[in-house]
Amino acid sequence: MSMNDRQDLWQKVEDEKQRLIEMSDRVWGMPEVCYTEERSMAEHKAELLHHGFRVTEGIAGIPTSVIGEAGEGGPVIAFMGEYDALPGLSQEAGASEHKPIEAGGHGHGCGHNLLGAGALLAAVALKNYLAEHKIPGRVRYYGCPAEEGGAAKAFMVRAGAFDDADVAISWHPYSFWEVAPALSLANTRADFIFTGRASHAAAAPHLGRSALDAVELMNVGVNYMREHMPSDARIHYALLDTGGIAPNVVQAHARVRYSIRAMDLQTMLSLVNRVNKIAQGSAMMTETRMEMKIVSAVSNTLSNKPLEQALYRTMQELGAPEFDDQDRDYARKIRATLSPEEISSVYNVIGMPETDAPLAEFLVPLDQPHKPQIGSTDIGDVSWVVPTVQVHAPTVAIGTPFHTWQVVAQGKSPAAHKAMVHVAKAMAATGLAVLSDPVLMADAKAALAAQTARTPYISPLSEGVEPPLDMSKG
């Protein structure tokens, strides 16, 4: 593949960018959380149909999932997009202070409006290039909902949606321009549901059996366990049901949701088993009943060195996104709302000295040591069955913590649009590199095969666990 080929492909990104920027902004304006993304999915479906993709909906029984495919014969290049938002992060675009549009409303606090549009822009550009040059190959766009805790891709993997894909490419908004390191944690979300017996807390306390007491004892037990688990594991919890608001009624029901993370799948499953034992003990101590219900689960992400190297070469040729003075001025206003610790923390992750630059206009070296960010993503499961690579692109001011109003505020900024278009060029060119170089594809598949030969993939979703389509209700 020559430089002229890449320039032609990148022009095709330029040709289509305005439509996808506008779609990104529309999705920003209709924030929908985990498994409720009907309108956002419809936007992606309409765009796929406009560009002549063959569309399939309802993958793995998930109504808000969609796949578009174009082209004939040859390998399948998969581009993965997302479009789910987060609760409680409503925010005006372009502001540099907290200004919710709707009190308690949702917002795109992780930039998935950009993620979906940028991945689709890459797919459209590569599809158009292959058609014009009559190159065999299929471009497939996966519209993936519910990444924020819903593990939709893990369910899609289990349903076989990625079985015939040859390579998978995605990206995520971030502070820096870099090949995304494969450092995500395996994660299980599980509800522990306790059932006791109600009674009058003053007149007949001896007749009651408190489900809320069981939850409190479970939390204490898990806290004691923290000393005796790997230091890079993480456990968090949220109370979903405290049993009512009357203190003079012994609480007969209570529910707590735990998120249990570890660096690899086997360690995570072991921790889940230990937390379950603590819950069982809490039920025994309070003479209540306990039910454990898996909500979702994802695997850790596997790296693929051949794809990462190919992506990095493309990013070097592209250079970093170019921003102007207005972009930098707005980024400085956002940085003024951040603490020094927040800004330093992102530099600590990439192991580079801190600067005063408001936006990243440089490429992080591929061999730069990274510290784990201790997050989780359902792309992890895709990486176990398809050679997978991801890009980070600088859509926000350096140091902006994700899942915050500051990310929402920057979600329609010109700088975010520029980074989204730039990343689409990197993704499309990486897909074309795979199609143009059989050795690269073979090396990518061999790298995955070597990893899974040592530890075969086993879905973290236990038998009978179905997509939690109602997890956002209430």
CA 104 to chain CA centroid, Å, is 22
pLDDT of residue 471: 86
φ, ψ at 311 (rounded to 5°)? -60, -45
pLDDT of residue 371: 78
Which two tokens mark 394? 């600088």
Give the tens place of pLDDT for each residue, 105-147.
Answer: 999 999 999 999 999 999 999 999 999 999 999 999 999 999 9
Alpha-carbon dihedral angle through residues 339, 345, 351, 353, given to the nearest 10 degrees:
0
Q: Do 98 and 159 touch, CB atoms closer than 8 A? A: no
Q: What is the C-alpha to C-alpha distance for residues 386 and 441, in angstroms, rounded to an integer?
A: 11
Domains of the chain: 3-184+301-454 (3.40.630.10), 186-298 (3.30.70.360)
The stretches in the chain having pLDDT less than 70 are 1, 372-374, 474
Which two tokens mark 159? 């349903």
**Beta carbons within 8 Å of 388's beta carbon, 6+ residues apart:** 167, 168, 169, 170, 301, 302, 304, 307, 379, 382
Decide: residue 389, CB within 10 A, 0-12 exposed, 13-18 middle, 19+ buried: buried
Sign of CA dihedral 324, 111, 311, 3: negative
pLDDT of residue 229: 96
CA 167 to chain CA centroid, Å, is 18
Q: What is the C-alpha to C-alpha distance for residues 43 and 30, in angstroms, rounded to an integer?
A: 10
pLDDT of residue 5: 82
**AA letter at 188:** T
Q: What is the C-alpha to C-alpha distance for residues 357 and 350, in angstroms, rounded to an integer?
A: 15
pLDDT of residue 463: 84
Q: Do 67 and 143 touch, CB atoms closer than 8 A? A: yes
Q: Do 138 and 70 touch, CB atoms closer than 8 A? A: yes
Q: What is the C-alpha to C-alpha distance for residues 40 and 29, in angstroms, rounded to an integer?
A: 10
65-to-375, 430, 444 alpha-carbon distances in Å: 23, 25, 27
pLDDT of residue 2: 74
Q: Do 426 and 318 touch, CB atoms closer than 8 A? A: yes
Q: Do 124 and 9 touch, CB atoms closer than 8 A? A: no
pLDDT of residue 418: 98
**AA letter at 368:** Q
**AA letter at 336:** A
Q: What is the pTM of this model?
A: 0.93
Kindly give the pairing relationship between strand 76-82 and strand 167-174. Answer: parallel
pLDDT of residue 1: 65
